[in-house]
C-alpha cells in the first residue's frame, strides 16, 4: 500500500523533485536570490520601461513569472523570518531589528535550510541576514552563538542586519571576518563610545547626508544607525559588497559542485536598500539615480552568477527562485535625491503603496522560478507566499510536510503544473494585518497616519473598514466595504479565523 502511494506521488510530482540519486536532475541545486526592497515594477520583465534588467528578464523568459506572489511582510525581518520558518511573522511579533538583536529563530525550530539538509544538501547563506545573532549580549570579537549555522546552514557569510546599520562587517560562520585582534570591535545602539565621531558632531565627514534617522556612527563617510568603535580592518567597502557576496556565492557553489552534493544557496543581495552605493562601474548608468544604478548592478551580478553556473556545467540542474523581501521605497532616510531622480519610473508597478504599506505594493513582489528543464515556462497568477517554500520543498523532496507550520505545500504551483495556489493569505505591515482572498483585499480599521511624510508612501491605514477588488482596481482607490456586503462578511470571517488559528 505504501509503495503504491509512493508511486502515485512520484507520478504527480514534477521531475525536478523526484528524489532518486545524488546531484541529479531529480534533486536539483536550489538558489534563492532575495533582493532587499525591490518592487514589482522595478524590472523590465514586470513592465518597467525606464529600467532595463536583461539578466533577470532572461530568468523570467525562460522560467515562470508569478504575478500574485507575496513576501509575508512589508518590512525585512518579518518577511525573512517567515521565509526561513514557514510561520506567519505576526504570530512571533517580528519587527525590524537592530544589528545587535538576539537570534529571532529558536535553534530547534524547523527551517528552510534544515529541509534541504534533511534531503542531503549542502546549505549556505550569503548576504543580508537581519534575523538576529547571539543571545542579546554579543562580544563581536568572539564566535557569536547562535548564528545561522545553528539553524541549518553549513556555511554563512552575512551582514548582521542592514547596510545602514552597524556593525558594517561581514560575519563568517559566526566570526567577524578580517578582524584585527589589536583593534577589537564594539557595538552599541543606546549610546555612543566616548570620542567617536557621529553624523551630528562631525557633519563635515559625510559624503552622503541623512534625512531622518541615520545620524549616528560614520563608516566610509556614510552615517549609519547605531554606534560602533574599532574593528576598522573588518569594515566593508559599500561599493565592493556586490563583488564580495558574489565571490562568496561562487566559492560555495564551486565547492558544492566538487563535493558532488546538491546544494541550497540563500543569496540575499543588499540592493536596492539604502545607502545605495554602487560600484563605480554602475554609477550614473541607469539615468534614474543611485537607486536605479544599484538595481542594474544587482541585475549584472545575477548575469555573472548565471554564467558561472554554465561554466560549472550545472545550470541545467539548478533551480533558481528570485524574489524580494518587501515592496519598494524611494526616500528611506538619506538625502540621496531618490524621489527627484526617480522621474516617472513606477517601482510599485500598477499597484498602490510600497515598503511599510498595507496596500498591495507593500508585499506583492517579483517572484520568478527558473529551471528550464523542470519548470513550465510562462506566467502564473496563483496566490503564493515566500513562507510556503519550506513545506513546498518538504513535499517536493519527499520529506514530511509539517502540519504545524503556516506554510502550504505548493509544489505543483511552484513548478507551473497548476495555478491553484492558496485560497487566502494574511499580510503584515508594521504590526498591522490585512487579508488577501481571491481578488479581494480586506484591511481592517486601524489608527495611524495615512502617509508617512518622511517616505511619502501611503500606508493604507484608515479608521474605516477597507475592501478593494485588486483585479478591477489595482490602485485600491474604490473602497467597496459599503457596497459589497457579502464579500466583506466573508473576508472578515476568514480574517478572524486566521487570527485565532
Residues that bind ligand NG6 (CB under 6 A): 36-37, 75-76, 96, 130, 162, 164, 212-214, 225, 273-274, 326, 332-333
Residue 228, SS3 per DSSP: strand
* C-alpha of 272 from chain center: 11
Rounded Cα distance between 377 and 405, Å, is: 29
Give the nearer residue to ligand NG6 in terms of CB position, either 455 or 467. 455
Binding-site partner at residue 214 among ligand NG6, Ca ion, none, CB < 5 to 8 Å by type = ligand NG6
What is the DSSP-derived secondary structure letter of residue 171? E
Residue 212 or residue 377: which is nearer to ligand NG6 going by CB?
Answer: 212
| Binding partner selected for residue 265 from ligand NG6, Ca ion, none, CB under the kind-specific 5 to 8 Å limit | none
Summarize the chain as % helix, strand, coil (round to 5): 30, 20, 50
**Residue 130 touches which of ligand NG6, Ca ion, none (Cβ within 5-8 Å per kind):** ligand NG6
Which is closer to Ca ion, CB of 302 or CB of 314? 302
Binding to Ca ion by CB under 5 A, coded x per residue (else -) over 16-45, reads --------------------xx--------
- State the binding partner of 332 from ligand NG6, Ca ion, none, CB within 5 to 8 A by kind: ligand NG6
Q: Which does 225 bind (CB under 5 to 8 A by kind): ligand NG6, Ca ion, none?
A: ligand NG6
Locate all alpha helices (DSSP H) within 202-349, ordered by sequence.
241-259, 289-311, 338-342
**Euclidean distance between CA atoms 241 and 77, whole angstroms:** 20
Question: What, of Ca ion, ligand NG6, none, does residue 96 touch, CB below 5 to 8 Å by kind?
Answer: ligand NG6
Can you spell out the DSSP letters for 93-157? T-----TTPPPSS-TTS--HHHHHHHTT-EEEEEEE--S--TTSS--TTS--SS-GGGGT-SEEE
Contacts of 307 (CB under 8 A, 6+ apart): none
- Shortest distance (Å) from residue 212 CB to ligand NG6: 5
Q: Which is nearer to Ca ion, 36 or 300 (CB)?
A: 36
Is the Cβ of residue 355 or residue 422 nearer to ligand NG6 in the bound state?
Answer: 355
Distance CA(84)–CA(114), nearest Å, equals 9
* 250 vs 326, beta carbon nearer ligand NG6: 326
**Smallest gap from residue 37 Cβ to Ca ion (A):** 4
Nine-digit cell string for 134: 547571539
How many whole angstroms separate alpha carbon 441 and alpha carbon 438? 8
Least separation, in Å, of the C-beta of 338 and ligand NG6?
A: 11
Cα–Cα–Cα angle for 424, 428, 429, nearest 5°?
145
> What is the rounded (10 degree) CA torsion for 163, 166, 171, 177?
110
**Residue 431 binding target from ligand NG6, Ca ion, none, CB below 5 to 8 Å by type:** none
Angle between helices 289-311 and 54-62 (to 10 degrees): 50
Residues 287-346 that bind Ca ion (CB under 5 A): 325-326
Q: Which is nearer to Ca ion, 37 or 100 (CB)?
A: 37
State the binding partner of 274 from Ca ion, ligand NG6, none, CB within 5 to 8 A by kind: ligand NG6
- Report yes or no: 381 and 76 within 8 Å, Cβ to Cβ: no
Asked whether the beta carbons of 435 and 468 are under 8 A apart, the reply is no
By a kind-dependent CB cut-off of 5 to 8 A, residue 437 interacts, out of ligand NG6, Ca ion, none, with none
Q: Nearest CA to 428 among 446, 401, 409, 449?
A: 446
Residue among 76 and 249 whose Cβ is closer to Ca ion: 76
By CB under 5 A, tell whether 430 contacts Ca ion: no
**β-sheet bridge partners, residue 319:** 30
Indicate the Cα dihedral angle 103, 107, 110, 114, nearest 10°. 100
Cα 227 from Cα 207, distance rounded (Å): 18
| Residue with smallest beta-carbon separation from ligand NG6 | 213
Nearer to Ca ion, 184 or 213 (CB): 213
Binders in 66-125 for Ca ion, by CB under 5 A = 76
Residue nearest to Ca ion (CB): 76
Nearest residue (CB) to Ca ion, 325 versus 406: 325
Residue 281 is given by DSSP the state G
CB 311 to ligand NG6: min, Å: 33
Nearer to ligand NG6, 114 or 224 (CB): 224
Number of residues that bind Ca ion (CB under 5 A): 5
d(CA 266, CA 2): 34
Enter the DSSP assignment of 193: P
Least distance in angstroms from the C-beta of 165 to ligand NG6: 7
Contact 460, 467 (CB under 8 A): no
CA–CA gap between residue 463 and residue 354 (Å, rounded) = 20
**Cell numbers standing for residue 323:** 524574489
Strand-pair category, 64-66 with 378-380: parallel
User: Residue 61 CB, nearest distance to ligand NG6 (Å)?
Assistant: 28
Q: Kindly state the smallest distance separating residue 269's Cβ from ligand NG6, in Å.
A: 12
Task: Report in angstroms how near the CB of residue 161 gets to Ca ion at its nearest.
Answer: 11
Which residue's CB is nearer to Ca ion, number 76 or number 295? 76
Shortest distance (Å) from residue 80 CB to Ca ion: 9
Least distance CB 455 / ligand NG6 (angstroms) = 8
- Could you say which of Ca ion, ligand NG6, none residue 345 binds, taking C-beta under 5 to 8 angstroms by partner kind? none
Interface residues with Ca ion (CB under 5 A) are 36-37, 76, 325-326
Amino acid at each position: 500500500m505504501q509503495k503504491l502511494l509512493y508511486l502515485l506521488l512520484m507520478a504527480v510530482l514534477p521531475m525536478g523533485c523526484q528524489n532518486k540519486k545524488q546531484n541529479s536532475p531529480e534533486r536539483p541545486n536550489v538558489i534563492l536570490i532575495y533582493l532587499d526592497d525591490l518592487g514589482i515594477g522595478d524590472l523590465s520583465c514586470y513592465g518597467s520601461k525606464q529600467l532595463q534588467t536583461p539578466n533577470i528578464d532572461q530568468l523570467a523568459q525562460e522560467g515562470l513569472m508569478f504575478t500574485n506572489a507575496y513576501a509575508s511582510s512589508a518590512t525585512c525581518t518579518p518577511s525573512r523570518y517567515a521565509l526561513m520558518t514557514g510561520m506567519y511573522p505576526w504570530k512571533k511579533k517580528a519587527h525590524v531589528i537592530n544589528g545587535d538583536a538576539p537570534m529571532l529563530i529558536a535553534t530547534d525550530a524547523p527551517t528552510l535550510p534544515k529541509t534541504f539538509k534533511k534531503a542531503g544538501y549542502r546549505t549556505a547563506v550569503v548576504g543580508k541576514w537581519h534575523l538576529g545573532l547571539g543571545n542579546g549580549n554579543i562580544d563581536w570579537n568572539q564566535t557569536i552563538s547562535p548564528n545561522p549555522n545553528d539553524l541549518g546552514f553549513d556555511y554563512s557569510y552575512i551582514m548582521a542586519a542592514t547596510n545602514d546599520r552597524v556593525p558594517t562587517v561581514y560575519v563568517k560562520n559566526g566570526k567577524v571576518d578580517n578582524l584585527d585582534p589589536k583593534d577589537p570591535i564594539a557595538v552599541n545602539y543606546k549610546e555612543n563610545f566616548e570620542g567617536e565621531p557621529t553624523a551630528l558632531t562631525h557633519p563635515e565627514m559625510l559624503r552622503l547626508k541623512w534625512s531622518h534617522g541615520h545620524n549616528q556612527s560614520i563608516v566610509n563617510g556614510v552615517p549609519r544607525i547605531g554606534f560602533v568603535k574599532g574593528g576598522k580592518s573588518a569594515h566593508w567597502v559599500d561599493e565592493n559588497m556586490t563583488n564580495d557576496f558574489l565571490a562568496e556565492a561562487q566559492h560555495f557553489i564551486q565547492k558544492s559542485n566538487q563535493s558532488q552534493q546538491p546544494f541550497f544557496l540563500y543569496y540575499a543581495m543588499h540592493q536596492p536598500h539604502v545607502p545605495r552605493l554602487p560600484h563605480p562601474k554602475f554609477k550614473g548608468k541607469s539615468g534614474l539615480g543611485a537607486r536605479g544604478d544599484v538595481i542594474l548592478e544587482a541585475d549584472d551580478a545575477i548575469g555573472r552568477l548565471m554564467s558561472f553556473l554554465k561554466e560549472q556545467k550545472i545550470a541545467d540542474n539548478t533551480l533558481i527562485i528570485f524574489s524580494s523581501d518587501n515592496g519598494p521605497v524611494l526616500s528611506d532616510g538619506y538625502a540621496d535625491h531618490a524621489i527627484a531622480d526617480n522621474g516617472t519610473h513606477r517601482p510599485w508597478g500598477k499597484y498602490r503603496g510600497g515598503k511599510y504599506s498595507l496596500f498591495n505594493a507593500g508585499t506583492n513582489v517579483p517572484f520568478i522560478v527558473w529551471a528550464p528543464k523542470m519548470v513550465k515556462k510562462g506566467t502564473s497568477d496563483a496566490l503564493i507566499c515566500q513562507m510556503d517554500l519550506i513545506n513546498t520543498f518538504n513535499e517536493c523532496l519527499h520529506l514530511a510536510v509539517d502540519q504545524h507550520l503556516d506554510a502550504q505545500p505548493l509544489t505543483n504551483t511552484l513548478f507551473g503544473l497548476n495555478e491553484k495556489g492558496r485560497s487566502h493569505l494574511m499580510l503584515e505591515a508594521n504590526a498591522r494585518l490585512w487579508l488577501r482572498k481571491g481578488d479581494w483585499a480586506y484591511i481592517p480599521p486601524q489608527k495611524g497616519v495615512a502617509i508617512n511624510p518622511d517616505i511619502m508612501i501611503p500606508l493604507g491605514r484608515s479608521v474605516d473598514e477597507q475592501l478593494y477588488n485588486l483585479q478591477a482596481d489595482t490602485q485600491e482607490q474604490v473602497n467597496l466595504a459599503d457596497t459589497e456586503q457579502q464579500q466583506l462578511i466573508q473576508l472578515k470571517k476568514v480574517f478572524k479565523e486566521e487570527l485565532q488559528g
